[in-house]
């Protein structure tokens, strides 16, 4: 969606994201409030997080990325069968 994200550690578990680069981590209520205030007060941070996270999603989870991964797997299976 191109929006900055504040998440718990559990909320991003298993995703290839880094705190401060793709999202802001907040595991406690106070941390969530502080992160939200940071985003309100820092438009450059807000835009940077949103842009980097969107790029990561497009590169790793888009239909094009899924199709490319599927194609690589099919070609590897065909090559192994030969």
The whole-number pLDDT of residue 6 equals: 98
The whole-number pLDDT of residue 60 equals: 85
The whole-number pLDDT of residue 48 equals: 97
**Count of residues in the chain:** 82
For 36-63, how does the pLDDT look when each residue is reduced to its tens digit (9 = 90+)?
999 999 999 999 999 999 999 888 888 8
Segment 19-36 shows an average pLDDT of 97
Query: Computed from CA positions of residues 64, 68, 69, 73, in that sequence, does the dihedral angle turn out positive or negative?
Result: positive
| Average pLDDT over the chain, rounded to an integer | 94
pLDDT at position 27 over 90: yes
What gap in Å lies between CA 53 and CA 24, rounded to an integer? 11
């Amino acid at each position: 969606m191109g929006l900055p994200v504040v998440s718990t550690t559990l909320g991003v578990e298993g995703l290839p994201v880094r705190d401060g680069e793709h999202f802001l981590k907040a595991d406690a209520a106070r941390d969530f409030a502080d992160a939200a205030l940071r985003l309100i007060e820092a438009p450059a941070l807000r835009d940077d997080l949103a842009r980097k996270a969107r790029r990561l999603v497009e590169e790793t989870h888009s239909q094009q990325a899924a199709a490319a991964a599927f194609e690589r797997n099919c070609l590897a299976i065909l090559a192994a069968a030969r």
